[in-house]
Amino acid sequence: MKPVSLIQFLIEERRAGRINAELSLLIEVVARACKRIAVATSKGALGGVLGNAGSDNVQGEAQKKLDVISNEILLEANAWGGHLAACASEEMEDPQPIPDMYPKGNHLLLFDPLDGSSNIDVNISVGTIFSVLRCPEHVTEPKVEDFLQPGTQQLAAGYVVYGPATLLVLTFGHGTHEFTLDREVGSFVLSRRDIRIPEQTAEFAINMSNQRHWEAPMQRYVGELLAGKEGPRGKDFNMRWVASMVADVHRIITRGGVFFYPLDAKIKAKGGKLRLMYEANPMAFIVEQAGGAATTGRERILDIQPAGLHQRVPVFLGSRGEVEVATRYHREADVAHA
Ligand code: FDP
């Protein structure tokens, strides 16, 4: 079969009436920016881009040079095309308006420019995560509250993983599709259409070093997985933790599995570790569109009414069967303590 490029795929989505020209352009621009980020990350030490930038982001986390570079690449690429009303990023406290000299569009773009950035300096996969919302009607200068829409309102979501190959995974709410960057030609080519995550799995991803800080239902759930064949689950489970959400989610998209960043005593006051608007929501949309499930352990992620641009939430996502068991344990524990 003839390879299908991202551009061709987007034209077909437009013809099918699933996206409009502006959203198509937006995705093209984001994909082009991510190709530049792929080039920057692949240079490693030779590009002079490793190490800390010497600054902190809005979350008080040390910024890597590549965090800052990737953020600038995405902002610059998206400023002039006329497809956006504003951008918001993990690296910036407030939304970034489109400069007055450029035309404005009807979309809002949120992104984590370089997720898993603690892995950059050790040459392990990192990625970009993005989410697209519609700008509310008659809003010309979008404010934070215009971005605070539940994940169900997303028009598109995607991530790019910069690994041995650079891959783009994308959804418009009609299935989840994967594109592989053909480095010689410089274009993304469709490599998997309508990805399906197996419903059952024997593989889980979690940072086990936090075990003693977890809530009781999480202790119970993971305890049962670790008990293996002899335990209540009656089968052995395997564990993987890359510590780059994009890489862990991509493994799940590819061969099934389940990813947890639950609440723990250290992060309880913040509400969780991962950010709702540009990590949990886009990943939940992608995973649900591939037949998986995504919850906070208590509720569906996509149903959350956001309260802040940088809000954090617990994240349970992947193979439906395991997300449901872990979520049930939390709900049962809440009922028992009500
Ligand atoms: P990072 O802080 O390096 O950007 O986005 C947060 C994230 O990485 C995820 O990509 C990753 O899954 C998680 O944090 C890793 O957290 P731990 O360091 O606590 O394992």
Q: How many residues in the chain?
A: 338
Can you tell me the distance from the alpha carbon of 120 to that of 84, in angstroms, rounded to the nearest whole number?
Answer: 29
- DSSP code of residue 84: E
Can you tell me the distance from the alpha carbon of 291 to that of 10, in angstroms, rounded to the nearest whole number?
Answer: 22
Say how many CA atoms lie within 13 Å of 279 toward its Cβ.
30
Q: What's the confidence (pLDDT) of residue 205?
A: 98
Can you tell me the distance from the alpha carbon of 79 to that of 115, in angstroms, rounded to the nearest whole number?
Answer: 22
Closest CA to 154 of 4, 303, 326, 324: 303
Closest CA to 277 of 305, 245, 244, 298: 305
Q: What's the confidence (pLDDT) of residue 301?
A: 98
Residue by residue, pLDDT tens for the chain (338 residues) are 789 999 999 999 999 999 999 999 999 999 999 999 999 999 988 877 777 877 777 767 777 788 889 999 999 999 988 999 999 999 899 999 998 899 999 999 999 999 998 898 899 999 999 999 999 999 989 999 999 999 999 999 999 999 999 999 999 999 999 999 999 999 999 999 999 999 999 999 999 999 999 999 999 999 999 999 999 999 999 999 999 999 999 999 999 999 999 999 999 999 999 999 999 999 999 999 999 999 999 999 999 999 999 999 999 999 999 999 999 999 999 999 88
Closest CA to 42 of 243, 241, 183: 183
Q: What's the confidence (pLDDT) of residue 5?
A: 98
Cα 315 to averaged position of ligand 1 atoms, centre (Å): 12
Q: What's the confidence (pLDDT) of residue 51?
A: 78
Name 230's Cβ contacts closer than 8 Å, sequence gap at least 6.
Answer: none
Per the structure block, which two tokens stand in for 188?
């993304």
Answer yes or no: is the C-beta of 58 below 6 A from any ligand 1 atom.
no
Helix axes 65-79, 21-43, angle to 10 degrees: 150
Q: Which amino acid is at 227?
A: A
In the block, residue with structure tokens 């349970």: 316
Answer yes or no: is the C-beta of 116 below 6 A from any ligand 1 atom.
yes
Q: What's the confidence (pLDDT) of residue 63?
A: 75
Q: What's the confidence (pLDDT) of residue 45?
A: 85
Cα 244 to averaged position of ligand 1 atoms, centre (Å): 6
In the block, residue with structure tokens 């759930």: 221
Q: What's the confidence (pLDDT) of residue 65?
A: 85
Query: Are 322 and 204 spatial neighbours (Cβ–Cβ below 8 Å)?
Result: yes
Q: What's the confidence (pLDDT) of residue 204?
A: 98
Cα 275 to averaged position of ligand 1 atoms, centre (Å): 10
Query: Are 169 and 159 spatial neighbours (Cβ–Cβ below 8 Å)?
Result: yes
Answer yes or no: is the C-beta of 62 below 6 A from any ligand 1 atom.
no
Distances (CA, A) of 221 to 233, 243, 267, 333: 10, 21, 19, 12
Ligand 1, pocket-test mutation among 120, 245, 278, most atoms within 8 A of CB: 245
In the block, residue with structure tokens 């959350």: 304
Q: What's the confidence (pLDDT) of residue 76?
A: 94
Per the structure block, which two tokens stand in for 82?
């006329």
Answer yes or no: is the C-beta of 117 below 6 A from any ligand 1 atom.
yes
Strands 238-239 and 203-205: parallel
**What is the per-residue burial (b if ≥16 Cβ within 10 Å, else e) of 100-121?**
eeeebbbbbbbbbbbbbbebbe
